[in-house]
């Protein structure tokens, strides 16, 4: 029985030998650089002695995990992380899709291209720089308040109010990533047959119906795959962004798992870093598996595997 | 093949594949144990390999080869390297790593077995980790006494806390570097705004400050701001006026205490909360951002952390020049450190020791190399000629007297070496050396120049330093310090802004102690007692 | 031609206004940094929006570009980016294509392996040891090879290949084309949009990468451009360093230098996008099938 299965596998590889030849070089490179160093995960369960190497170091059990979860403020950091993650999925994830759809409705070629190019600019500036700009712009005497004053709004120091913090995190993340994120959707839109639109117009379908019945279905597989690919990093809610926007008054609501771990990460504390990474990854894996299952329930041809 | 069956076989095959991968891993792991040999053999692509061979017989027999890791970009065969090689009859293999990358690169190299002979370790906590892992050579005090006697005497006299940086579990692992002289930053005032508000005299006490702030409020200017998002900078001069410096360890009647939780800190916070409530403090102090532009823009009048170069009108890029550019009427002057109710004053200082120079563990078998390195270090710190060559370069080529005749105004680097990057590529660090850091205090002040020394003594004459230099070098600091800093920043901001009443300070102290503050205090006491 | 209703005109108008507002906001950091980089150090210290330089000067650029090693770093980064894009496109598409074919055995297992690698990794030390044991330390290969096939790119590409109708591929085979030929002459031309996206992604990530270079590259003449950016931006925030800087009266404004360094490191990669855009034109794929 087992023997048969083995032979069947050999046979199916043999019948796909050209595909296999195409596949193997890249796959071996992948194994070499992704899986050979994978034993480093063990360091999370070890007391790392440099002289003994990772594998030779003594086992430490779950010590590093206990230390990680027992620190002051862990639950607060976990809660903040989950809130920010959910907010980002609600508002940041759909933003590039909406941008792509809106741009798709623009007829003027030069206008569409210019907007595309301009909106993707902030992606190229690190949060250290964007943070500096935002502190000035959102400060009490900054440009944003000057604009609001035309509408009779009293000036606010936006970045020091804890109640505005999540809103600002979401809005600035959209601002920084929307253009860059929409590129993959532009690529997907390029696959739509223009005759579909022409036919719809001829049938007298309204703009909304065209978006709903042609554009969105064409984007759906890409949206699904982007969701599946990103959900594994659910607990990584943007360390650079939050770290560079946090102040003395917002650090309570802005404390996320990454900043929490950073505070504990001493010099060369590889064990704790690995333990924290393993925690987020395991959580992420769980989400990916569940999400993939859900997607396949809906349409068994979608999903990653 | 049925789909369900297929799925089951996947599990099996996945397990097989993972096993295969584990085998590969196990095969590789043989190579993973780092060899702790001298770095020359491991040095990635460096010039070290060739250097080992070119030891011709015609060289003097005592030529010693040293792999020396320095924390900035120095080009191969630079002026500085050549100078040291000729002067001290050594062959240097410089491992030069940009400052921004230094700590990380050093950690990776140390972890994977590329341990240099001599290296600066920029953070004493890193040193303690390396020592713990057996990567550093012990350097007995007698050896330092014998080969770097002048430096040892200078450290004992002016920077004894440096020995905390090189000590670990009762052993000494290197030689501390100096961070002379005793400095804090001056505070500066927008005197044009003071005048406009009718204040003619630069305030010197807390009371005078308060009066000036009230007057400034009348013209719509905040009295002061500060970096409220920092564990140590927040209103440092005001705390100094109450004789306390938060987050530093200090000693009272033989007892160790942390400034952050001392009763004097509560006094200062009471005053600051009052000032905030009266509208003397820029509410955006909690961001710690844009302090420079806001000061120039006249949002607030007292800047509690200025550069000693900021009112140099001869420098077209100084803060004063920038102010004059937008506002010819504007003017900035230094003010004395404000004095508090008990006549105290002070500003934050990092102390007089910088960090340490250490030696790879393999050097324990080659004491003559450690000795030679110590001799070089002792010389660059104390011999004027050697120090000047390596800190400023050659007179006429790299530097000249600022006033053209003597050292009263200090020295200036000549173009193109006035660009720090270009200077350092030459192996000249500027004001200090790559091989020993800053010089002894006499040399430091000599080249610092009278003018700066005078500014320092008049306006920043009372630096307050941690008893250990850096407050986070205690054994369990890594575990607690991050949380304590966060707690301190948040609590202070909340109290000053009035989000919490003054009495919240007491509950803050309780939290501080329970979150590791008490544990660290005990350790500080032990460390202090052990080295008395 | 379709006659636009009043409602559609309103939609178009609102849409354009919205997009213009967004463009205005997203242009700001670029304009700000550009202005800073062209300002005199004194102007840069001034408060305000910094939308236009008051006394434009190229001094900061001059200062940045005369740093020794920066031009070499520019060349290195360009080689890295071009090489990186090429390797990623070739290897990822070759690896992804078989995984998109239903006949290929154990597809699910392979995909699981890829997904797992996206979430878990062994960390810095084993990676460094691997690179060292392979003899790649201090070579460009240490920067190029590890990212040649990554799960993210592979899955995106496979999904795109999967969306190509089975019949097109089958008909090519009936015409007698082998797997490789089908792939290069049918599948790849149909996949230009996704290839363009992956090229852009990997190009930008190679252009912006610095951590691997910081860890694996020792020689100054092999360094990459972003390390210069990092150094200029980071040194500012180092407390002890800035105290040391106080020793130097040459307080050349760091703001302008920082901005100029960022502009120099960013402008070239920004110019790439417009070339990528032409692969996003509607109907480009269909054209290549039916045409």
Measured between CA atoms, the residue of chain B closest to residue A159 is B287
A·B CB contacts under 8 A: 121
pLDDT reported for residue B456 = 87
Percent of chain A with pLDDT over 70: 99
Q: Which chains are adjacent to chain B, needing at least 3 Cβ pairs under 8 Å?
A: A, C
The verdict on B309 touching C (C-beta cutoff 8 Å) is yes
The verdict on C18 touching A (C-beta cutoff 8 Å) is yes
Query: pLDDT tier at B451 (50, 70, 90 boundaries)?
Result: confident
Kindly tell me if the per-residue pLDDT of B134 is higher than 70. Answer: yes
CA distance C104 to A19: 8
Question: Is residue A238 included in any domain, yes or no?
Answer: yes
Give chain B positions within 8 Å (CB) of C42: 316-317, 321-322, 325
Kindly tell me if the per-residue pLDDT of B26 is higher than 80. Answer: no
Query: C70-216+273-290 sits in which CATH class?
Result: mainly alpha
Kindly tell me if the per-residue pLDDT of B41 is higher than 80. Answer: no
Question: Is residue A303 included in any domain, yes or no?
Answer: no
Backbone angles phi, psi at B356, to 5 degrees: -140, 155
SS3 B348: strand
SS (HEC) of A130-172: HHHHHHHHCCCCCHHHHHHHCCCCCCCCHHHCHHHHHHHHHHH
pLDDT reported for residue A274 = 93
Kindly tell me if the per-residue pLDDT of A247 is higher than 80. Answer: yes
Q: Do A187 and C233 touch (CB under 8 A)?
A: no
Asked which of A21, A38, A61 is the last residue of a domain, the reply is A61
Q: Which chains are adjacent to chain C, needing at least 3 Cβ pairs under 8 Å?
A: A, B
ipTM of the complex: 0.91
Kindly tell me if the per-residue pLDDT of A257 is higher than 70. Answer: yes
SS (HEC) of B137-161: CCCCHHHHHHHCHHHHHHHHHHCCC
pLDDT reported for residue C47 = 67
Q: Which domain holds residue A77?
A: 64-298
**Looking at per-residue confidence, does B235 or B457 come out higher?**
B235
CA distance A284 to A281: 5
Binding-face residues of C in 128-187 toward B, CB within 8 A: 128-130, 132-133, 137-139
Q: Do B321 and C42 touch (CB under 8 A)?
A: yes
Average pLDDT over all residues of chain C: 85
Give chain A positions within 8 Å (CB) of C92: 26
The enclosing domain of A188 has a CATH number of: 1.10.3720.10
Identical fold for domains B59-182+352-459 and B194-345+474-530, yes or no, is yes
Measured between CA atoms, the residue of chain A closest to residue C10 is A207
Question: Is residue A305 included in any domain, yes or no?
Answer: no
Q: The tokens of C233 are what?
A: 């931006």
Q: Do A248 and B489 touch (CB under 8 A)?
A: yes
**Nearest-by-Cβ selection for C130 from A36, A189, A206:** A36
Q: Do A268 and B111 touch (CB under 8 A)?
A: yes
Whether B526 and B167 have beta carbons less than 8 Å apart is answered as no
SS3 B441: helix
Do A242 and A97 have their domain in common? yes
Q: Domain B194-345+474-530, CATH 3.40.190.10 — does that match?
A: yes
SS3 B168: strand
Do A26 and A172 have their domain in common? no
Residues B482-511: tens digit of each pLDDT = 999 999 999 999 999 999 999 999 999 999
The verdict on B290 touching A (C-beta cutoff 8 Å) is yes
The verdict on B278 touching C (C-beta cutoff 8 Å) is no
CA distance A246 to chain B (A): 8
The verdict on C237 touching B (C-beta cutoff 8 Å) is no
Do A1 and A147 have their domain in common? no
Binding-face residues of B in 57-76 toward C, CB within 8 A: 73, 75
Whether B355 and B124 have beta carbons less than 8 Å apart is answered as yes
Rg of chain B on CA atoms, in Å: 27
CA distance B226 to B340: 18
CA distance B104 to A81: 27
Give chain A positions within 8 Å (CB) of B114: none
pLDDT reported for residue C239 = 41
Among A227-231, B422-426, C226-230, the range scoring the smallest mean pLDDT is C226-230
Q: Which chains are adjacent to chain A, needing at least 3 Cβ pairs under 8 Å?
A: B, C
How many domains, chain A? Answer: 2
The 3-state DSSP composition of chain C as helix, strand, coil percent (nearest 5) reads 75, 0, 25
pLDDT reported for residue A286 = 96
Positions in chain C whose pLDDT score sits under 50: 1, 236-252, 287-291
The verdict on A269 touching B (C-beta cutoff 8 Å) is yes
pLDDT reported for residue A2 = 59
Do A45 and A112 have their domain in common? no
Percent of chain B with pLDDT over 90: 65
CA distance A253 to chain C (A): 24
pLDDT reported for residue C59 = 86
Backbone angles phi, psi at B159, to 5 degrees: -145, 55
The verdict on B28 touching A (C-beta cutoff 8 Å) is yes
Q: Do A248 and B25 touch (CB under 8 A)?
A: no
Kindly tell me if the per-residue pLDDT of A192 is higher than 90. Answer: no
Q: Do B111 and C249 touch (CB under 8 A)?
A: no
Residue-range domain boundaries for chain B: 59-182+352-459, 194-345+474-530
CA distance C200 to A181: 12
The verdict on B510 touching C (C-beta cutoff 8 Å) is no
**Nearest-by-Cβ selection for B101 from C214, C245, C252:** C214
Do A95 and A40 have their domain in common? no
> In whole angstroms, what separates CA A191 from the centre of its chain?
24
Do A103 and A191 have their domain in common? yes
Task: Report in angstroms the alpha-carbon separations of B434 from A33, B128, B191, C281.
Answer: 38, 22, 40, 57
Do A49 and A98 have their domain in common? no
Residues B42-83: tens digit of each pLDDT = 333 333 333 333 444 444 547 899 999 999 889 999 999 999
Given the candidates 3.40.50.1000, 3.40.120.10, 3.40.1160.10, 3.40.190.10, the CATH classification of the domain at B59-182+352-459 is 3.40.190.10
Give chain C positions within 8 Å (CB) of A273: 123
Q: Do B1 and A8 touch (CB under 8 A)?
A: yes
CA distance A216 to A225: 14
Rg of chain C on CA atoms, in Å: 24
Binding-face residues of B in 3-22 toward A, CB within 8 A: 9, 21-22
Q: The tokens of B14 are what?
A: 């996945």
Give chain C positions within 8 Å (CB) of A278: 120
Closest to B355 (Cα-Cα) out of B181, B137, B183, B123:
B123
CA distance B478 to B258: 16
pTM reported for the whole predicted model? 0.89
Do A38 and A75 have their domain in common? no
pLDDT reported for residue C258 = 86
Do A227 and A103 have their domain in common? yes
Residues B302-340: tens digit of each pLDDT = 999 988 888 888 877 788 888 888 889 999 999 999 999
Whether A272 and B507 have beta carbons less than 8 Å apart is answered as no
Percent of chain B with pLDDT over 70: 88
Residues A33-64: tens digit of each pLDDT = 999 999 999 999 999 999 899 999 999 999 99
């Amino acid at each position: 029985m087992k023997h048969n299965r083995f032979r069947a596998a050999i046979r199916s590889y043999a019948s796909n030998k050209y595909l296999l030849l195409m596949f193997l070089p890249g796959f071996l490179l992948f194994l070499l650089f992704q899986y050979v160093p994978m034993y480093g995960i063990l360091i999370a369960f070890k007391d790392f002695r440099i002289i003994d190497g990772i594998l030779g170091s003594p086992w430490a059990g779950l010590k590093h995990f206990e230390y990680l979860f027992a620190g002051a403020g862990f639950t607060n950091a976990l809660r903040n992380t989950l809130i920010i993650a959910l907010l980002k999925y609600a508002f940041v994830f759909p933003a590039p899709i909406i941008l792509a759809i809106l741009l798709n409705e623009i007829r003027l070629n030069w206008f569409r291209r210019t907007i595309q190019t301009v909106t993707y600019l902030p992606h190229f500036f690190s949060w250290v720089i964007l943070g500096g700009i935002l502190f000035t712009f959102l400060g009490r005497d900054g440009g944003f308040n000057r604009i609001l004053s035309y509408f009779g709004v009293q000036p606010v120091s936006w970045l020091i109010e804890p109640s505005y913090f999540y809103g600002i995190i979401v809005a600035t993340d959209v601002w920084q990533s929307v253009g860059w994120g929409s590129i993959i959707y532009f690529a997907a839109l390029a696959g739509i047959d223009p005759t579909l639109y022409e036919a719809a117009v001829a049938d007298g379908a309204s703009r909304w119906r065209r978006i709903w019945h042609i554009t969105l279905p064409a984007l759906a597989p890409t949206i699904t795959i982007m969701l599946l690919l990103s959900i594994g990093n659910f607990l990584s809610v943007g360390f650079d962004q939050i770290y560079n926007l946090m102040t003395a008054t917002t650090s309570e609501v802005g404390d996320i798992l990454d900043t929490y771990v950073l505070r504990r990460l001493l010099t060369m504390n590889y064990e704790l870093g690995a333990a924290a990474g393993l925690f987020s990854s395991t959580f992420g894996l769980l989400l990916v598996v569940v999400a993939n299952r859900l997607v396949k329930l809906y349409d068994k041809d979608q999903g990653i595997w | 093949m049925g789909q369900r069956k297929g799925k089951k076989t996947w599990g099996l095959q996945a397990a097989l594949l993972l096993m295969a991968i584990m085998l590969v891993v196990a095969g590789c792991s043989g190579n993973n144990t780092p060899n702790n040999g001298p770095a020359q053999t491991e040095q990635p692509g460096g010039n070290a390999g060739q250097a080992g061979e070119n030891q011709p017989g015609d060289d003097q027999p005592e030529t010693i080869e040293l792999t020396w890791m320095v924390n900035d970009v120095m080009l191969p065969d630079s002026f500085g390297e050549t100078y040291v090689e000729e002067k001290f009859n050594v062959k240097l293999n410089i491992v030069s790593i940009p400052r921004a990358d230094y700590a990380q690169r050093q950690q990776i190299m140390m972890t994977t077995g590329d341990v240099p002979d001599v290296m600066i370790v920029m953070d004493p906590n890193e040193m303690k980790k390396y020592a713990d892992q057996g990567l550093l050579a012990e350097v007995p005090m007698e050896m330092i006494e014998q080969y770097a006697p002048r430096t040892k005497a200078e450290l004992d006299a002016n920077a004894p806390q440096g020995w905390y940086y090189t000590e670990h579990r009762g052993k000494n692992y290197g030689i501390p570097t100096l961070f002379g002289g005793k400095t804090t930053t001056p505070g500066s005032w927008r005197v044009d705004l003071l005048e406009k508000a009718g204040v003619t005299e630069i305030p010197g006490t807390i009371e005078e400050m308060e009066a000036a702030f009230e007057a400034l409020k009348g013209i719509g200017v905040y009295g002061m701001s500060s970096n409220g998002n920092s564990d140590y900078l927040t209103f440092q001069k005001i705390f100094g006026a109450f004789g306390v410096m938060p987050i530093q360890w200090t000693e009272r009647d033989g007892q160790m205490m942390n400034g952050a939780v001392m009763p004097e800190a509560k006094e200062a916070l009471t005053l600051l909360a009052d000032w905030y409530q009266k509208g003397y403090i820029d509410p955006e102090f909690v961001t710690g951002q844009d302090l420079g532009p806001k000061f120039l823009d006249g949002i607030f009048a007292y800047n509690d952390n200025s550069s000693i170069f900021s009112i140099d009108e001869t420098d077209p890029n100084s803060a004063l020049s920038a102010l004059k550019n937008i506002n010819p009427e504007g003017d900035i002057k230094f003010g004395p450190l404000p004095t508090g109710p008990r006549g105290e004053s002070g500003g934050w200082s990092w102390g007089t020791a910088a960090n340490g120079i250490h030696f790879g563990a393999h050097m324990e078998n080659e004491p003559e190399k450690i000795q030679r390195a110590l001799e070089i270090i002792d010389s660059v710190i104390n011999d004027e000629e050697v120090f000047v060559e390596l800190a400023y370069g050659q007179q006429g080529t790299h530097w000249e007297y600022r006033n053209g005749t003597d050292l009263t105004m200090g020295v200036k680097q000549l173009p193109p070496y006035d660009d720090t990057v270009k200077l350092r590529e030459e192996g000249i660090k500027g004001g200090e050396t790559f091989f020993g850091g800053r010089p002894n205090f006499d040399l430091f002040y000599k080249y610092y120049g009278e003018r700066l020394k005078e500014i320092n003594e008049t306006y920043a004459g009372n630096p307050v330093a941690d008893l250990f230099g850096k407050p986070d070098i205690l054994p369990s600091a890594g575990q607690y310090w991050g949380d304590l800093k966060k707690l301190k920043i948040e609590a202070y901001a909340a109290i000053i802004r009035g989000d919490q009443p003054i009495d919240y300070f007491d509950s803050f102290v309780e939290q501080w102690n329970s979150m590791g503050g008490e544990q660290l205090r005990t350790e500080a006491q032990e460390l202090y007692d052990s080295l008395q | 031609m379709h006659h636009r209703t009043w409602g559609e005109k309103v939609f178009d108008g609102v849409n354009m206004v919205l997009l213009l507002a967004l463009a205005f906001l997203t242009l700001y950091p670029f304009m700000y940094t550009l202005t800073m980089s062209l300002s005199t150090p004194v102007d840069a210290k001034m408060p305000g929006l910094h939308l236009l330089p008051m006394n434009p000067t190229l001094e900061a650029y001059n200062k940045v570009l005369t740093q020794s090693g920066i031009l070499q770093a520019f060349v290195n980064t360009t080689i890295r980016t071009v090489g990186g894009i090429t390797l990623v496109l070739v290897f990822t598409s070759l690896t992804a294509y078989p995984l998109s074919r239903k006949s290929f055995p154990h597809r699910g297992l392979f995909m699981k392996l890829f997904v797992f690698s996206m979430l878990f990794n062994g960390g810095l030390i084993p990676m460094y040891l691997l690179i060292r044991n392979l003899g790649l330390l201090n070579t460009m290969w240490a920067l190029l090879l590890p990212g040649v096939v990554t799960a993210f790119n592979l899955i995106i590409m496979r999904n795109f290949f999967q969306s190509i109708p089975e019949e097109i591929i089958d008909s090519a085979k009936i015409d007698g084309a082998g797997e490789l030929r089908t792939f290069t002459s049918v599948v790849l031309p149909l996949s230009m949009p996704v290839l363009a996206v992956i090229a852009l992604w990997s190009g930008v990530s190679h252009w912006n990468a610095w951590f691997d270079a910081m860890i694996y590259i020792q020689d100054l003449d092999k360094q990459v451009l972003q390390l210069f950016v990092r150094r200029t931006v980071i040194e500012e925030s180092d407390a002890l360093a800035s105290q040391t800087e106080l020793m130097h009266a040459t307080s050349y404004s760091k703001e302008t230098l920082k901005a100029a360094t960022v502009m120099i490191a960013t402008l070239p990669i920004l110019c790439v996008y417009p070339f990528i855009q032409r692969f996003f034109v509607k109907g480009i794929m269909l054209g290549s099938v039916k045409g």
